[in-house]
Structure 1
């Protein structure tokens, strides 16, 4: 234990965490911020909704492809080089996006941003697992949760404010100073925290991983964006088949790209599943509520963002608090009540109507964000704690990859359930083209999608009863 403590003291934990959290905040901010600018971008570049959605689909695809091979990159390159590279890619992508004269260049900038974020996310978790003692990991992971959820919560609100007062270009220009600060901190303070072993690179695994995860993310995203059914089915089949071959190959080669033996640890496997369930709940709500607040209740984008802001901020504030509670009491007494609170909030959301009070929506969303915050960090940290040190990069890569796939799966399924609900309602009314019936169909569709989220939360609650605290030695 004393040796471990001496090892921990060799790291400049505070400046390292500042560098990671600042870059992570801006990277995740852009996952939600740019959506609010889609209307402006469609007008400026003379493109339609299907085209502009590639700014999100391309971003998710890039991260979905890059994150699975991050475990290999962490073993090939030093922490310092990887972090500096991720920030440089982010800065280049942000500048290109800010000055892009045509949509194609804007998309290229967006993909470069995604490369930076895709490198950063697994690296951030791996660094924390190495430099922070197990008894303090809950608190450290809570800080990451604070930054992640606050950035996602502030994204739509800040974006709406900037677009209304300035222009979408300023979303990018305002981010650059923060990236530069993170870069300077990394140059002076970032240390190498993992051992560079340079294992053999298996090109077939990289190819199968790229096609598999890329196909899954694209396929699920295509469902939510109204892509051709045949394209979606073919893409998903190719993705699933590639992932099967990829998984089989990882068990048969000496140096796997992603060591799937991490799933042999029951609490890691359970924690990863609960993270997926939690991400589906969060992203389903974050898809449905902005649509309903704007199209069903006639609020502006900025007002809709402000309505959701208190819940997002509460989620961020609770992350470090839940981290401390996890360190003290373990995961069970957080994840079980968390899923119960989320389930109840989703049940009330499944009865939402155009006349529902704004105060009620704010309160329910705050409850939902409280519940999900009680699940995310404890489930993830408890699972990673069960892994040996040599599996940390692989565990981080697995969870981050599953989060991206869950994001695509959750939003696609929620969008499909909403469409099914709308079509079912209109099929049973005399005048489906009537404006009142169209508005009512949106309500029915949103209610239907929230029932889907409620079922997912119920599955999470069942899983939560099997979680046990992992005992780790310092």
Structure 2
């Protein structure tokens, strides 16, 4: 698997380690909020910026990745991302104040925002087509494990040491990632030096950041600012595009993209509904409800590479359709029996659903991007990764609002019903369009 002095597998593993570390810290820090509030003598609203600042940096940088990949070598981008992430980790480990902690999180968000799309870009451009499904499965395996392990890792560090060790223990893995990346990523002889459309980027950054804040705070005012900013971005982006928006004219790409986003919404929406419902209605302990999602995450990690191998051999339609049907069955059972199912029944429904995610998620991402031309895939990759961040935030916010507004069981029922509808639409679209898609 060499390509012009490339060693593709070590290169993918190097970027996967960084992506894994970024998602791991994002979820592991949530369990430290009470400790941080006491140490820095601040409120929960203020301490929430430890996560919000990271997500804002991520949301702004990921769309910029398309411009970066077009104009800088992948090795340069990888080393920059790794060193930025390591700098952020060191700042957070040593942080004497909340301001320094948030600054470190922003720098980590910039590093992750470069590394996450870079991992998929390497797969699309340098992995052989005959191994693309397997490589996408490996990439998905790393990012699906991190959210499940994060709270456990954070709680363990907090109970055995202190919250600062959450950052310190990642440094050896970042060093390993740096060595693997420097060794595996090949040199590219030429890159374009196109001018940077700063005005367009500024409008996009304002639009994305205000949209994320609007979703988190359910603010119509911020949503309106975001909409206006996106309008200006569309106007200024046409002459010197940062993102090639014409790819949305490709109906097969849009079908695959909608499927990926529907899966993201379903998984993250359920990861809020089920643990909260288990605690409030079934009176399950916080520790056990936190572990509820773990079997499904492990199943996704195991099945993603396996399903990629199946796609490489038999094509994308059958494994993706099987995955979507398993997800539909698991989601339908959850919706129908939600208010009267036991802990074990809900766990079995979730296992069926996550088995479907293992077959469909990474394959659907690979096949969606494969519908684009080689010159369009970098833009598609950046757009897909950006929208995943926002759909995840939107899904969590909507179901949390339903959960709190309609109190417990009713809110949970409405939440899972909404996710079932989204998943059904994605499944039907793929049934009609999927046969035309080729990897």
Instruction: Tell me the TM-score normalised to structure 2 length.
Output: 0.93
Distance 1:300 1:276 in 2: 31
Aligned to 2:33: 38
CA contact (8 A) 1:36 1:301 kept: no
Distance 2:405 2:330 in 1: 22
Q: CA deviation at 1:446?
A: 2.1
Within 5 Å, which residues of 2 pair with 1:11-160? 11-160=6-155
Q: CA deviation at 1:299?
A: 4.2
Distance 2:45 2:283 in 1: 23
Aligned to 1:431: none
CA contact (8 A) 1:33 1:158 kept: yes
Distance 1:115 1:266 in 2: 31
Aligned to 2:230: 243
CA RMSD, aligned part only?
2.1
CA contact (8 A) 1:70 1:122 kept: yes
Of residues 326, 330, 343, the one that matches 2:315 is: 330
Q: CA deviation at 1:357?
A: 3.4
Distance change in 2, residues 1:118/1:298 (3 Å): same
Q: CA deviation at 1:359?
A: 2.5
Of residues 386, 398, 412, the one that matches 1:413 is: 398
Within 5 Å, which residues of 2 pair with 1:134-283? 134-192=129-187, 195-223=190-218, 232-250=219-237, 252-253=238-239, 255-283=240-268
Distance change in 2, residues 1:133/1:180 (3 Å): same
Q: CA deviation at 1:85?
A: 0.9
Corresponding residue SS for 1:96: helix
Corresponding residue SS for 2:195: coil
Within 5 Å, which residues of 2 pair with 1:287-366? 287-350=272-335, 351-353=337-339, 356-366=341-351
CA contact (8 A) 1:337 1:371 kept: yes
1:67-124 per-residue CA deviation (whole Å, 9 max, x = no partner) reads 1111111122211111111111111111212222322221111111111110111111
CA contact (8 A) 2:5 2:187 kept: no
Corresponding residue SS for 1:199: coil
Corresponding residue SS for 2:434: coil
CA contact (8 A) 1:331 1:469 kept: no
CA contact (8 A) 1:57 1:221 kept: no
Q: CA deviation at 1:469?
A: 4.7
Q: CA deviation at 1:160?
A: 2.4
1:406-457 per-residue CA deviation (whole Å, 9 max, x = no partner) reads 11211111112212322xxxxxxxxxxxxxxxxxxx2332222222212221
Distance 2:412 2:398 in 1: 12
CA contact (8 A) 2:8 2:184 kept: no
Distance 1:173 1:294 in 2: 32
1:253-277 per-residue CA deviation (whole Å, 9 max, x = no partner) reads 1x41011122232221211111111
1:247-296 per-residue CA deviation (whole Å, 9 max, x = no partner) reads 3443x31x410111222322212111111111111110112223233444
Corresponding residue SS for 1:168: coil
| Structure 1 unaligned regions, length at least 5 | 224-231, 423-441
- Which is further off, 137-146 or 12-21? 12-21
Distance 1:195 1:121 in 2: 23
- Which is further off, 206-215 or 322-331? 322-331
Aligned to 2:435: 468
Of residues 420, 431, 436, the one that matches 1:454 is: 420
CA contact (8 A) 1:134 1:385 kept: no
Q: CA deviation at 1:170?
A: 1.8
CA contact (8 A) 2:63 2:243 kept: yes
Distance change in 2, residues 1:164/1:291 (3 Å): farther
Q: CA deviation at 1:30?
A: 1.8
Q: Aligned pair count? A: 437
Instruction: Tell me the TM-score normalised to structure 1 length.
Output: 0.87
